[in-house]
Protein backbone atom coordinates (compact mmCIF):
# COMPACT_ATOMS: atom_id res chain seq x y z
CA UNK A 1 0.00 0.00 0.00
CA UNK A 2 1.50 3.30 -1.06
CA UNK A 3 0.52 6.58 0.51
CA UNK A 4 1.47 10.21 -0.01
CA UNK A 5 1.88 10.50 3.77
CA UNK A 6 5.30 9.05 4.61
CA UNK A 7 4.19 8.19 8.15
CA UNK A 8 1.97 5.41 6.82
CA UNK A 9 4.91 3.99 4.86
CA UNK A 10 6.78 3.35 8.12
CA UNK A 11 6.65 -0.16 9.59
CA UNK A 12 3.72 -0.67 11.98
CA UNK A 13 6.09 -1.22 14.92
CA UNK A 14 7.52 2.27 14.47
CA UNK A 15 4.06 3.77 13.92
CA UNK A 16 2.98 2.23 17.24
CA UNK A 17 5.97 3.79 19.02
CA UNK A 18 5.08 7.19 17.60
CA UNK A 19 1.43 6.80 18.70
CA UNK A 20 2.65 6.25 22.28
CA UNK A 21 3.84 9.89 22.32
CA UNK A 22 0.69 11.25 20.67
CA UNK A 23 -1.90 12.31 23.29
CA UNK A 24 -4.60 12.95 20.69
CA UNK A 25 -6.33 9.58 21.06
CA UNK A 26 -5.79 8.90 24.77
CA UNK A 27 -9.01 10.64 25.75
CA UNK A 28 -11.04 7.89 24.08
CA UNK A 29 -10.31 5.42 26.88
CA UNK A 30 -11.14 7.59 29.89
CA UNK A 31 -14.40 7.86 31.84
CA UNK A 32 -14.86 11.59 31.16
CA UNK A 33 -15.03 10.87 27.43
CA UNK A 34 -17.47 7.99 27.99
CA UNK A 35 -19.70 10.27 30.08
CA UNK A 36 -19.58 12.96 27.40
CA UNK A 37 -20.71 10.42 24.79
CA UNK A 38 -23.46 9.32 27.17
CA UNK A 39 -24.70 12.90 27.49
CA UNK A 40 -24.80 13.23 23.71
CA UNK A 41 -26.62 9.89 23.45
CA UNK A 42 -29.38 11.16 25.75
CA UNK A 43 -29.81 14.27 23.59
CA UNK A 44 -30.52 12.26 20.42
CA UNK A 45 -34.05 12.61 19.09
CA UNK A 46 -34.28 8.83 18.67
CA UNK A 47 -33.27 8.30 22.31
CA UNK A 48 -35.87 10.77 23.54
CA UNK A 49 -38.52 9.06 21.37
CA UNK A 50 -37.50 5.70 22.85
CA UNK A 51 -37.84 7.16 26.38
CA UNK A 52 -41.41 8.29 25.67
CA UNK A 53 -42.21 4.81 24.34
CA UNK A 54 -40.79 3.20 27.50
CA UNK A 55 -42.93 5.37 29.80
CA UNK A 56 -46.02 4.80 27.65
CA UNK A 57 -45.45 1.03 27.68
CA UNK A 58 -45.05 1.02 31.46
CA UNK A 59 -48.21 3.07 31.92
CA UNK A 60 -50.05 0.73 29.54
CA UNK A 61 -48.93 -2.18 31.73
CA UNK A 62 -50.25 -0.38 34.82
CA UNK A 63 -53.58 0.31 33.10
CA UNK A 64 -54.15 -3.26 31.94
CA UNK A 65 -52.72 -4.98 35.01
CA UNK A 66 -55.94 -4.50 36.93
CA UNK A 67 -54.28 -4.33 40.33
CA UNK A 68 -51.80 -1.53 39.68
CA UNK A 69 -52.23 1.78 41.44
CA UNK A 70 -50.33 4.88 40.35
CA UNK A 71 -50.91 8.62 40.63
CA UNK A 72 -49.34 12.01 40.36
CA UNK A 73 -50.91 15.42 40.90
CA UNK A 74 -52.52 15.34 37.42
CA UNK A 75 -53.96 11.86 37.01
CA UNK A 76 -54.23 8.33 38.30
CA UNK A 77 -54.41 4.66 37.40
CA UNK A 78 -56.68 2.98 39.88
CA UNK A 79 -59.12 0.25 38.86
CA UNK A 80 -60.92 0.19 42.25
CA UNK A 81 -61.10 3.98 42.70
CA UNK A 82 -59.14 3.81 45.97
CA UNK A 83 -57.25 7.03 45.24
CA UNK A 84 -58.39 10.65 44.99
CA UNK A 85 -61.30 10.41 42.56
CA UNK A 86 -61.08 14.13 41.75
CA UNK A 87 -58.03 13.33 39.62
CA UNK A 88 -58.63 12.20 36.02
CA UNK A 89 -58.41 8.44 35.61
CA UNK A 90 -56.15 7.15 32.85
CA UNK A 91 -57.81 4.18 31.17
CA UNK A 92 -55.84 4.33 27.91
CA UNK A 93 -52.51 5.61 26.65
CA UNK A 94 -54.50 8.24 24.74
CA UNK A 95 -55.44 9.86 28.08
CA UNK A 96 -51.96 11.21 28.81
CA UNK A 97 -48.79 12.65 27.27
CA UNK A 98 -45.21 12.22 28.39
CA UNK A 99 -43.16 15.42 28.73
CA UNK A 100 -39.35 15.15 28.78
CA UNK A 101 -36.82 17.59 30.25
CA UNK A 102 -33.06 17.03 30.21
CA UNK A 103 -31.19 17.56 33.47
CA UNK A 104 -29.03 20.66 33.70
CA UNK A 105 -25.86 18.56 33.55
CA UNK A 106 -27.28 16.50 30.68
CA UNK A 107 -26.65 13.11 32.27
CA UNK A 108 -30.35 12.33 32.74
CA UNK A 109 -33.74 12.98 31.18
CA UNK A 110 -36.63 13.68 33.55
CA UNK A 111 -40.19 12.83 32.58
CA UNK A 112 -43.65 13.94 33.69
CA UNK A 113 -46.98 12.35 32.79
CA UNK A 114 -49.70 14.90 32.07
CA UNK A 115 -53.29 14.63 30.86
CA UNK A 116 -53.81 14.96 27.12
CA UNK A 117 -54.56 18.58 26.35
CA UNK A 118 -52.30 20.00 29.08
CA UNK A 119 -51.12 23.51 28.19
CA UNK A 120 -49.24 26.26 30.02
CA UNK A 121 -52.60 27.89 30.74
CA UNK A 122 -54.16 24.88 32.49
CA UNK A 123 -51.08 23.05 33.85
CA UNK A 124 -48.82 24.53 36.53
CA UNK A 125 -46.09 21.99 35.73
CA UNK A 126 -45.63 23.33 32.20
CA UNK A 127 -45.18 26.85 33.61
CA UNK A 128 -42.79 25.78 36.39
CA UNK A 129 -41.40 22.24 35.93
CA UNK A 130 -40.50 20.46 39.17
CA UNK A 131 -41.22 17.16 40.91
CA UNK A 132 -40.99 14.76 38.01
CA UNK A 133 -42.48 11.26 37.76
CA UNK A 134 -39.10 9.72 37.03
CA UNK A 135 -35.97 9.89 34.94
CA UNK A 136 -33.74 8.04 32.50
CA UNK A 137 -30.00 7.55 32.65
CA UNK A 138 -27.54 5.90 30.30
CA UNK A 139 -26.34 2.59 31.74
CA UNK A 140 -22.97 3.17 30.07
CA UNK A 141 -22.36 6.36 32.05
CA UNK A 142 -20.50 6.30 35.33
CA UNK A 143 -23.07 8.01 37.54
CA UNK A 144 -22.17 8.17 41.20
CA UNK A 145 -24.53 7.26 44.02
CA UNK A 146 -24.48 10.91 45.14
CA UNK A 147 -25.62 12.00 41.67
CA UNK A 148 -28.42 9.40 41.68
CA UNK A 149 -29.54 10.73 45.06
CA UNK A 150 -29.60 14.25 43.59
CA UNK A 151 -31.71 13.02 40.66
CA UNK A 152 -34.08 11.37 43.14
CA UNK A 153 -34.71 14.72 44.85
CA UNK A 154 -36.36 16.01 41.67
CA UNK A 155 -38.99 13.27 41.79
CA UNK A 156 -42.47 13.21 43.31
CA UNK A 157 -41.66 10.07 45.29
CA UNK A 158 -38.84 7.55 45.75
CA UNK A 159 -38.02 6.27 42.24
CA UNK A 160 -37.67 2.58 41.47
CA UNK A 161 -35.67 1.20 38.59
CA UNK A 162 -37.92 -0.62 36.15
CA UNK A 163 -36.50 -3.43 34.09
CA UNK A 164 -38.07 -4.70 30.90
CA UNK A 165 -38.68 -8.43 30.48
CA UNK A 166 -39.26 -10.60 27.44
CA UNK A 167 -42.07 -13.15 27.11
CA UNK A 168 -39.95 -15.73 29.00
CA UNK A 169 -39.54 -13.30 31.94
CA UNK A 170 -35.85 -12.73 31.21
CA UNK A 171 -34.56 -9.18 31.63
CA UNK A 172 -33.97 -7.33 28.37
CA UNK A 173 -30.68 -5.49 28.54
CA UNK A 174 -31.14 -1.88 27.52
CA UNK A 175 -28.77 1.00 27.38
CA UNK A 176 -31.32 3.34 28.93
CA UNK A 177 -32.39 2.73 32.54
CA UNK A 178 -35.82 4.01 33.60
CA UNK A 179 -36.46 5.11 37.17
CA UNK A 180 -40.19 5.52 37.83
CA UNK A 181 -41.91 7.06 40.86
Across the range 25-39, mean pLDDT stands at 59
Task: Using DSSP bridges, classify how beta strands 76-78 and 96-102 pair: parallel, antiparallel or unpaired.
Answer: unpaired
Q: What is d(CA 155, CA 134) in angstroms, rounded to the nearest whole number? A: 6
Q: What is d(CA 76, CA 73) in angstroms, rounded to the nearest whole number? A: 8
Domain boundaries, the chain: 11-180
Q: Tens of pLDDT along 71-88?
A: 999 999 988 888 878 899
Q: Tens of pLDDT along 94-134?
A: 999 999 999 888 789 999 999 999 999 999 999 999 899 99
Residue 107, CA distances (Å) to 3, 12, 59, 93, 142 in order: 42, 39, 24, 28, 10
Contact of 114 with 133, CB cutoff 8 Å: no
Task: Provide the whole-model pTM.
Answer: 0.75
Strand-pair partners of 93:
none
Amino acid sequence: MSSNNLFYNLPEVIQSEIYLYDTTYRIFGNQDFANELSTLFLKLKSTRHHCVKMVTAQMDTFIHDGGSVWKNEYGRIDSNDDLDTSLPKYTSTDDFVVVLHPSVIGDAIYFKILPTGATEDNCAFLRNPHKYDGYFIDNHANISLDRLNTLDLMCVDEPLKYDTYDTNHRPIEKRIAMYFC
